[in-house]
Amino acid sequence: MSFLELKDLRVHFPTDDGLVKSVDGLSFALERGKTLGIVGESGSGKSVTSLGILGLHKGGRAKLGGEIWLDGEELVGASAEHVRTLRGKKMAMIFQDPLSAMHPFYTVGSQIVEAYRIHNDVSKKVARKHAIDMLGRVGIPQPDRRVDSYPHEFSGGMRQRAMIAMALSCDPELLIADEPTTALDVTVQAQILDLMRDLQRDFNAALIIITHDLGVVAELADDILVMYGGKCIEYGTAEDIFERPEHPYTWGLLGSMPRLDRDRTERLLPIKGSPPSLINVPAGCAFHPRCTFEDRTGGKASTEVPQLVETEGGHLVRCHLPRDTRRSIWETEIKPSLEAS
Amino acid sequence: MQKTTRLGVAALSAVLALGLAACGGGSTTTPTSSGAPAAAGSTGEFNGALTAVVNPSDKKGGILKLANAGDWDSLDPGDTYYGYSWNFIRLYGRSLVMFKSAPGKTGNELTPDLAEGLGTPSDDAKTWTYKLKAGIKFEDGTPVTSKDVKYGVERSFDKEVFPDGYTYFNDFLNWPKDYKGAYKSKDVNTDSAIETPDDQTIVFHLKQPLSNFDYFAQLPATIPVPKDKDTGAKYKEHVISTGPYKFDKNEIGKGFTLVRNDQWDPATDPNRKALPDGYDVATNVNADDIDNRVLAGDLDVDVTGTGVQPAALGRILPDPAVKAGTDNPTGTRLWYTSINGNVAPLDNLECRKAVEYAADKTALQTAWGGEFAGGQIATSLLPPSIPGHEDFNTWVPGADNKGDVTKAKEALTACGQPNGFETNIAYRAERPKEKAAAEALQQSLGRVGIKLTLKPFPQTDYFALYAGKPGYAKDNKLGLAMNGWQSDWPDGFGFLQQIVDSRVIRDTGGSSNISVRDPEVDKLIDQAMEQTDPNSRNGIWTQIDKKVMDDAYILPNVWAKALLVRSKNATNVFVNDAYGMYDYLGMGVK
Amino acid sequence: MVTYIIRRLIWSVVMLSIVSIITFAIFFLVPRLAGATSEDLAARYVGRTASAEQVKVAAEKLGFNDPLVVQYGRFAKGIVVGADYDYGPGVERCPAPCFGYSFLTRLPVWPDLLDRLPVTISLALGAAVIWVIAGVATGVLSALKRGSFFDRAAMSIALAGVSMPIFFTGMVSLVLFSYGLKITVAGGTYTPFLTNPATWAYDLLLPWITLAFLYAAGYARLTRAGMLETMNEDYIRTARAKGLRERTVVVKHGLRGALTPILTIFGLDLGLLLGGAVLTESTYSLPGIGKYAIDAIGRQDLPQVMGVTLVAAFFVVVANLVVDLLYAVVDPRVRLV
Ligand SMILES: Nc1ncnc2c1ncn2[C@@H]1O[C@H](COP(=O)(O)OP(=O)(O)OP(=O)(O)O)[C@@H](O)[C@H]1O
Ligand code: SF4
Ligand SMILES: [Mg+2]
């Protein structure tokens, strides 16, 4: 069994409007020292998945189903209190917007100290030294002084570094970074990504990077999972996804991927339409209202839910199009147009 | 167990009653269980203390607890002008003469206090002599002399230092020219006003005959003040006692306590029983809270004696058991309507008669607060408790007091206004009861075609600038004006002189008399001032009362009444007519 | 920081002067504009049926015949350097700060105020402790158990609490607990703290609870709303992700975040109350600043009104300053400039 394994994870929220199926049958596995990138549009269920792994839906309104195995332990059925003790120590998380994710009234140092001392029975002084060390390691200059600064006194990039320092303070084995660079500008983004890669190597942690931007995972991820409407629609190695993507949605993502050698605002193949409703999921393939190739599936797209099937060597795709059709569309229609630009 | 439950029930019903009162619902009555503790604690019956002593006892000891929703104007005998204060001051001060401490009409009688007897007048009633008893001392043991009495009156002359008091002595004694009182005219010889031929004798010289000077001699200003202890405006913080009690603690604005004065000699004082060991008085206490506490037996007396608040009224009246523990005396205040003969067509007696006949007196009574808190329907001027009062009703407003429309219309015809007329009625804007009374009149006079327009005026300037200023009243056709009067003491002079003597009316305004202009009445007043025989004098006051009613210059509304709650812990409870409230000299503690 | 405080203090003095001028104008200038003469004003402060001469004497003695500026100047001067008062047989020195002499009791106002201050402070502080604890605790629990029976019950009671007038709850509780069940003291009972702290607390119990009930209700609602908002903040999720116990998350992170508006309101509420808990003090006949104020206004005793207004304004101004300073302590993002 892998270090982290999700089996048919379901996270549903009962609301006044109906049941929101934010995550609906998600499975994947991840080993120590490996990086998984989860990509998908806004609302596809990425954050809900990561919060689910951390057990942060427990005690809330969410209905959980399926299994989450972490280092041989099942977490969905485990007690909230037990999962709490794992949180921060065994698994940690880096959040999207470090300004709102850090408490404005406490110093950066004290927030790291707090995180450290939950899981380590040490004096405040020792913890503070550790906090300074951590700040130094994530590249904050003069960490012994900045440790007493408040979050608002940091720049955006420094805050994200501090956030990373906080998450890494207890040496977690699983690190989930939920859109760690979205709030940052491009240069800082690159620095933070470099930092995470280095740290992951040092700590030998399993890393999940969540983003709606394929560019972010291009350099970091070993494997990539593409989510759409709470489901995995394509899964494979980074090479699979970038070189041989087989799902029309993934093509769309690639087409809208900003590249450093291209004007950011220019989008070649924008995905038309908007993300699906999670309450009244479109019948058949959830993507079909937006899919350019929907007509090539012989009407199945709007009636039958496609299954996630292996196309070859662990590369999974959820699409009714025959494998050959998918490959030829990619080779003859999509890839050239991407390269042309 | 049983007891707790009952208390709980009683408390709850009290809460309910409070709630009703707070919601403005006066008409609903809350049935109370007959076992309410109020019944158990009360003795006597409704109005039982008006004519007899309730809980008579000679038991000494205990502390009587009193509370005042406001505060004394001053505890200084030279600077106080409230009836309750004069009632209470007898505990720590002795004036030359005093009202008897007795129930009902006997309380109206004057009896010597410092003096050996009532005053001896000269033939012209311009000189009055009093002899002091021997053996009366101040609380520090110093003997009281006639000079201390004289000094007390002299200091009270200074209205800059003592602005609260009356000016009877200032106005009637024959002071030297430009006299300014004991402080500013220190070395002025005042023998022309007050002589002290020896330590036991004091002689007052008046500017004019004053047949009833004994009433002056009961005023607190004749309570002796030792000159060397006088601190002027600050004297009220520690008044030197001559009575059975002296001040112990006195925090002005909060309250004070009285303890026994060991220098008081009962042998010199047949009037005071001095039963309690002391008095505990709180001032500036929430008025509703006072009522609740007296009803609960937690407090003995609402010292102002002006009656309970509307909230408590709603709790007392519906419950016979609680009502039995209360008294409803008629005081010496008359609420009335002045009928201004200067404003046509009210210059015609027949038109004034029409007003007298048409008025619905029951509606007026309701306007003033009803039978218990408002007053008794008045048929003449002098209230029943004042000597000289006689029951008569010159203009009977129908057998049911609801007005006699037929007679009123006849009078209007005789006046030459068969269809009625229009005029205005003035009242004090800040006084909702005056407004209600004016509206009641508007309603009832409207029945015979007399149309009234309501004219509210600010109360501070009511007499000085508006209703009481003859020119203004005439020009603005204030034919009727709401008015009220209370005498300083139960005597025809005190009650009538200021409101019926036409010579007190000044063109500059400010007089309470705004309608009675009858030379014959003035003449009768002069006669009364010279008549030293009380019975003959009171006969004259009756005559004056009748004459004014014949003139129809005044429409009497009600003689004010107040609902007083008898303490459950007090003995010797009775209403003294001189003050129209419980007599504070008599009360003891069970 | 220091310059900030100094500047604020100077500003406070200016504010108090303005308040005193406005109060003075309301009671002295407005009646005159409405046509009242010195005698009309003085007529309130003499006995009933006072003669015209008597009123004239009073007007002169009270200084009503001087120009208004002179009258105000006299008042202001009294506060700064003191004043002399002629009480008849002699002259008394009223040392600074002399708020003048009551027109009615003819006693100096300042000692009166000092005498009543402890009552108001005792009442306000005691009630404040109760309402903050009760209100905040209820609010937090309600927020955490949103929609539960507890939440709905607490919020209904809170609504009743804020909407019921204190003279009603006060009078009802007196009748019920003091005169009915006899477990609390009668209205008007007060023992100074230094005389006997236990009796002090016992005597004030009912007023405290009544007053606290009114405020606790508001604080519960405020806390609940604040907590519902902060518990949705990202930093709460972060705190949970660290593995903190839920109680720590709620108190250290959630409540701390919700505290700022509560603190602001609390400072101002307390400041206002220290200037006199008018309704509570009147209902329970407690001789505090508020009762003094209501009595003074009722009797139009202007020196007392002026004194009490300034004391109340002083507390409000100080409370504002303290709140602003605390703001900087509570929220590090706030800079005092
Ligand atoms: N507590 C909740 N109650 C109801 N619906 C929820 C809840 N939390 C999340 N959702 C819904 O679940 C869906 C997935 O949300 P999620 O935050 O996982 O999206 P995401 O993929 O992280 O998007 P983004 O890129 O914007 O972060 C959204 O439609 C959201 O509205
Ligand atoms: S199943 Fe059909 S609609 Fe869905 S992604 Fe594949 S081609 Fe498009
Ligand atoms: Mg997200």
Query: Chain A within 8 Å of C243 (Cβ-Cβ)?
Result: yes
Residues B390 and B387: their CA atoms lie apart, in Å, by: 9
- Classify domain C109-336 at the CATH class level: mainly alpha
Structure-token pair, residue C244 = 């903190």
Q: Which residue of C has its CA nearest to A154?
A: C333
**pTM: predicted TM-score of the whole model, two decimal places:** 0.82
- Between the alpha carbon of residue C328 and those of residues B46, C4, C257, C314, the distances in Å are 67, 12, 14, 22
Categorize the per-residue pLDDT at B1 as very low, low, confident or very high, splitting at 50, 70 and 90. very low
With contact defined as beta carbons under 8 Å apart, do B286 and C284 qualify?
A: yes
A142: exposed, middle or buried (Cβ count in 10 Å: 0-12, 13-18, 19+)? exposed
**B2 or C37, higher pLDDT:** C37
Residue with tokens 């008045």: B378
Residues B192 and B213: their CA atoms lie apart, in Å, by: 17
Q: Which residue of C has its CA nearest to B299?
A: C186
With contact defined as beta carbons under 8 Å apart, do B329 and B48 qualify?
A: no
β-partners of residue B206 are B173
Q: What percent of chain B has pLDDT over 90?
A: 79
Contacting residues for A277 by C-beta, under 8 A, at least 6 apart: none
Query: Chain A within 8 Å of C244 (Cβ-Cβ)?
Result: yes
A92, A105, A150 member nearest C241 (Cβ): A92
Q: For residue A299, give the DSSP letter.
A: T
Q: Which residue of A has its CA nearest to C328?
A: A105
Q: What is the CA radius of gyration of chain A?
A: 21
C246: exposed, middle or buried (Cβ count in 10 Å: 0-12, 13-18, 19+)? middle
A46 within ligand 1 shell (Cβ under 6 A): yes
Q: Is A334 left (phi over 0), alpha (psi -120 to 50) or beta?
A: alpha
| Strand (E) or helix (H) holding C316 | helix C302-330
pLDDT digits (tens, 9 = 90+) for A274-303: 888 888 888 889 999 888 888 888 788 888
Query: Chain C within 8 Å of B230 (Cβ-Cβ)?
Result: yes
* Residue A93 backbone phi and psi in degrees, to 5: -140, 145
Cβ neighbours of C46 in B, within 8 Å: 159, 163-164
Cβ neighbours of C160 in B, within 8 Å: none
Interface of C with B in 227-286 (CB under 8 A): 282-285
CB atoms within 10 A of CB C13: 10
Query: Chain C within 8 Å of A115 (Cβ-Cβ)?
Result: yes
pLDDT digits (tens, 9 = 90+) for C13-39: 899 999 999 988 888 888 888 777 888
Most A-contacting residue of C146, C230, C238 (CB-CB within 10 A), to test interface = C238
Query: Chain B within 8 Å of C90 (Cβ-Cβ)?
Result: yes
Categorize the per-residue pLDDT at B267 as very low, low, confident or very high, splitting at 50, 70 and 90. very high
pLDDT of C52: 75
β-partners of residue B66 are B281, B301
Three-state SS for B305-361 is CCCCCHHHHHHHCCCHHHHCCEECCEEEEEEEEEECCCCCCCCCHHHHHHHHHHCCH
* Residue C261 backbone phi and psi in degrees, to 5: -65, -35
Dihedral sign computed on CA atoms, order A71, A74, A79, A83: positive
Query: Chain C within 8 Å of B143 (Cβ-Cβ)?
Result: no
All CATH 1.10.3720.10 domain ranges in chain C, comma separated:
109-336
In the predicted model, what is the mean pLDDT of chain A? 88
Instruction: Annotate B151-185 with b (16+ C-beta within 10 A) or e (fewer).
Output: bbbbbbbbbbbbbbbbbbbbebbbbeeebbbbbeb
| Ligand 1 midpoint to CA A303 (Å) | 26
With contact defined as beta carbons under 8 Å apart, do A31 and A206 qualify?
A: yes
| Range B96-99, long-range pairs (CB < 8 A, 24+ positions) | B96/B130, B96/B149, B96/B202, B96/B217, B96/B218, B96/B222, B97/B130, B97/B214, B97/B217, B97/B218, B98/B218, B98/B271, B99/B218, B99/B576, B99/B578, B99/B579
B and A interact (at least 3 Cβ pairs within 8 A) = no
Q: Which residue of A has its CA nearest to C257?
A: A105
Distance from the Cα of C218 to chain A's closest Cα (Å) equals 25
Contacting residues for C262 by C-beta, under 8 A, at least 6 apart: C136, C219, C222, C223, C226
pLDDT digits (tens, 9 = 90+) for B219-240: 999 999 999 999 999 999 999 9
Chain B / chain C CB contacts < 8 angstroms: 148
Mapped onto helix, strand or coil, the DSSP state of residue C159 is: helix
Instruction: Annotate B34-57 with b (16+ C-beta within 10 A) or e (fewer).
Output: eebbbbebbebebbbbbeebbbee
Q: Tens place of pLDDT for every residue, chain A, 341 residues?
A: 899 999 999 999 999 989 999 999 999 999 999 999 999 988 899 999 999 999 998 878 889 999 999 999 999 999 999 999 999 999 999 988 878 899 999 999 999 999 999 999 999 999 999 999 999 988 899 999 999 999 999 988 889 889 989 998 988 999 999 988 877 778 888 888 888 888 888 888 899 999 887 888 888 899 999 999 999 999 999 999 999 999 999 998 888 776 555 554 444 556 778 888 888 888 889 999 888 888 888 788 888 899 999 988 899 999 999 999 999 999 998 888 887 65
ipTM over 0.90: no
Of these ranges, A54-58, A265-269, B431-435, B530-534, the one predicted with the greatest mean pLDDT is: B431-435
CB atoms within 10 A of CB A317: 26
- Between the alpha carbon of residue C157 and those of residues B211, B503, C135, the distances in Å are 69, 66, 11
- Between the alpha carbon of residue B230 and those of residues B148, C76, C101, C191, C231, the distances in Å are 11, 31, 19, 32, 71
Categorize the per-residue pLDDT at B342 as very low, low, confident or very high, splitting at 50, 70 and 90. very high
Residue with tokens 């699409």: A319
Q: Is A67 left (phi over 0), alpha (psi -120 to 50) or beta?
A: beta
Cβ neighbours of C257 in A, within 8 Å: 103-105
| Ligand 3 midpoint to CA A1 (Å) | 28
* CB pair distance less than 8 Å for A103 and C333: no
Mapped onto helix, strand or coil, the DSSP state of residue C63 is: coil
| Ligand 1 midpoint to CA A20 (Å) | 9
Is C58's pLDDT higher than 70?
yes
| Ligand 3 midpoint to CA A47 (Å) | 4
Residues B162 and B225: their CA atoms lie apart, in Å, by: 14
| Ligand 2 midpoint to CA A300 (Å) | 9
Q: What is the mean predicted confidence (pLDDT) over C212-226? A: 91
With contact defined as beta carbons under 8 Å apart, do C291 and B284 qualify?
A: yes
Which atom of ligand 1 is found nearest the CA of A22?
12
Interface of B with C in 236-255 (CB under 8 A): 251-254
The runs of H, that is alpha helices, within chain A are: 46-54, 80-86, 98-101, 108-119, 124-137, 143-146, 156-168, 186-203, 214-220, 238-243, 248-255, 323-328, 335-340
pLDDT digits (tens, 9 = 90+) for B388-403: 999 999 999 999 999 9
β-partners of residue C190 are none
Amino acid, res. C60? E
Amino acid, res. C15? M
| Range A235-238, long-range pairs (CB < 8 A, 24+ positions) | A235/A28, A235/A308, A235/A314, A235/A315, A235/A316, A236/A314, A236/A315, A236/A316, A237/A314, A237/A315, A238/A37
In the predicted model, what is the mean pLDDT of chain B? 90
Structure-token pair, residue C69 = 């500026």
Residues B181 and B156: their CA atoms lie apart, in Å, by: 7
pLDDT of B317: 93
Query: Chain C within 8 Å of A100 (Cβ-Cβ)?
Result: yes
Chain A / chain C CB contacts < 8 angstroms: 67
- Report how far Cα C36 is from the mean position of its chain's Cα atoms: 32
Among B215, B236, B251, CA closest to B89: B236
Q: Which one of A12, A48, A57, A277 would you pick to mutate in the ligand 1 pocket, going by the greatest count of ligand atoms within 8 A of its CB?
A: A48
Q: What is the CA radius of gyration of chain C?
A: 24
Query: Chain C within 8 Å of A105 (Cβ-Cβ)?
Result: yes
pLDDT of B577: 92
